Amino acid sequence: MARKRTEKVERPSKESIKKAKRIFKYLHPYRGMFMIGWIFLILSTSASMVFPFLMGKLLGSGTQNPTSMEESIQLIKLDNLSSVILALFILFISQAIFSFFRVVIFTNVTEKTLRDVRRDAFSRLIHMPMDFFNQNKVGELTSRISADIVQVQETLRTTIAEFFRQIVTIFGGIVILSFISWKLALIMLATVPVVAIVAVIFGRFIKKLSKEAQDESAKSNAVLEESLMGISNVKSFTNENLLIGKYVTLIESIKSLNIKSGLWRGVFVSFIIFCVFGAIVVVIWQGILMTQGPNPELDSQQFFAFIMYTVMMGASIGSLPSLYANIQKTIGATENLMSLIQNESEKEILKGTEKPLITGAVSFKNVNFSYPQRADVQVLNDLNISVEKNQTIGLVGSSGAGKSTLASLLLNYYSTTGGSINFDSMAIEDIDVHHLREQIAIVPQEVILFAGSIEENIAFGRDEATKEEIVEAAKQANAWEFISDFPDGLATQVGDRGIQLSGGQKQRIAIARAILKNPTILILDEATSALDSESEKQVQDALQQLMKDRTSIVIAHRLSTIRSADQIYVLENGSVAEQGKHDDLISQKGIYSRLVELQKMEG
């Protein structure tokens, strides 16, 4: 279901700003170019401040009241008008050049900076310990790399420059207006900015109403989407009318909110027309009065310049709240990114540096373990298991007994809370984690394939493998037959998460990937439990090929898959309850025997 997402812009704390400032280290390599961009920004802003003055000259050149024909001719003579127009064109050309270089330089600096941020953020994310992913939702992490960076991108590229420009325009405009006429400047400051600020606040209220309507619309879309995606369930439970009722309730709410929003928009438009334009009319009216009389306080050129500066300032004041809100949101987005980049990765947490020869002998001695997020729940209790080189062992037990946890500990996804895990005679904590995982391959129950070709997914086991090696791995995994039947062969696209392949096909691709890796230790985590009988036989044959001459740890749901295991461990409540070969465990008439009988009855 689509989530309701409410944007709330809070004032950032000092700590947030401190964290956000860390992004400037990414700007540091490009500081020279960035400063040049700021020079062009200052030049562009300065040029824009000259425009109202020249426009005042142009508009006022023919509107003063001449006292004689000679004064009139002198006032509007062609060379005076030509010089103003020429100055305007020179200003426009300069402004265009300054703006071009400003935009190009800021864009270059921003994109190079964010490329570095993206690289470091993804690199840090991909090396995070497994517990980090237990604490954080994938959608939120993806948002940090995508949405937050887009927010930072927009701010670095345009928002900061525009915020600076508007601040300079406002304060520069006030200074210039005070020089033109301090009386008229006071009138303007008492009316136009106040009305503009009220208009902005009013606009935010209307935006809030629109946001509520959008949220209700998102809910209605969720009902629509889920109803159509689960149409078979809707019909089988005859709940058409229930969902229609939900949908009608939501669209009725949308209607009411939009009507309310339309009412306030009407009031807002009326307010703008009456107050904002009324305020400008008051300033113009006062300005006109000051240009009249025997001793006018303003000439027409000064008056038109004043009006142009007033309009420019009004626009700048109106744009400040949204620009400031964007900067606040960017501080929050930057804080998220920097927090991610500052987190400790596995390389920093797991200090092992040794790269010993791993033969496949593994021992668990009095191992205790609790997941960090559930420290009060003991998953493994004084677990003792010994695996010899090239031995196949089976792990069985009810759900939650600790089978998959044991596999996670072997890969050093988590550290034990007690006891020790040794590879040959070396503790897992002393072994370089990358070196360790290079020696281990896992074939899970739910295979995750990456969007791309079959060849790319098999090569994920060893990316430098040749095409011949990939084909050979596919043949050993009993996958080559169906791969060669596809028109595109190895180039066949598997779709998102391998959706275009069947369960058995995906499992055999995963096995081919593991064969290509050629690991010392193989972990099979219920690799055939979700397959039909025909697919299971093909996959099981491939697994037998894969398990040759290597240590294999088989987590089994279907107990028939571990009948020939060298040793079977029955786990219960995180401890070894029984161990032995298949026939020995059957004769004990214990937990394993009951599980076998239960599966026979289910079969």
Q: What is the pLDDT of residues 503-539, one digit of tens each?
A: 778 888 888 888 888 888 988 887 665 555 666 676 6
Q: Which residue is listed with tokens 């807002």? A: 268
At position 577, the amino acid (one-letter code) is A
**What does the pLDDT read at residue 536?**
65
Higher-scoring residue by pLDDT: 587, 75: 587
pLDDT at 153: 79
Q: Are 316 and 170 in contact (CB under 8 A)?
A: yes
Confidence of residue 196 (pLDDT cuts 50, 70, 90): low
Contact of 38 with 361, CB cutoff 8 Å: no
Q: How confident is the model at residue 169 (pLDDT cuts 50, 70, 90)?
A: confident
For the CA atoms of the chain, what is the radius of gyration?
A: 36
Q: Distance between CA atoms of 364 and 103, rounded to whole angstroms? A: 61
User: In order of start, what are the domains of the chain with their CATH numbers?
Assistant: 14-346 (1.20.1560.10), 443-518 (3.40.50.300)
d(CA 27, CA 119): 14
Residue 1, classed as helix, strand or coil, is coil
Q: Is the pLDDT of residue 374 over 70?
A: yes
DSSP-assigned beta bridge partners for residue 421: 364
Span 192-204, mean pLDDT? 66
* Bigger pLDDT: 70 vs 589: 589
What whole-number distance in Å separates Cα of residue 485 and Cα of residue 505?
12
Q: What is the pLDDT of residue 422?
A: 92
Q: Which residues are within 8 A (CB) of 283 and not within 5 positions of it... i.e. 6 or more apart?
A: 184, 187, 188, 191, 192, 306, 307, 310
For 91-129, write each residue's pLDDT tens digit: 888 888 888 998 898 889 888 888 888 888 888 888 888
Query: Confidence band (pLDDT; 50, 70, 90) for 20?
Result: low
Q: Is 468 exposed, middle or buried (0-12, 13-18, 19+ CB in 10 A)?
A: exposed
Return the DSSP state at 389: T
Which residues neighbour 367 within 8 Å (Cβ) at sequence distance 6 or greater?
Answer: 380, 382, 383, 384, 409, 416, 418, 419, 420, 421
Q: Sign of the C-alpha dihedral, residues 244, 248, 254, 257?
A: negative
The one-letter amino acid at 87: A
In this structure, the chain runs to a length of: 603
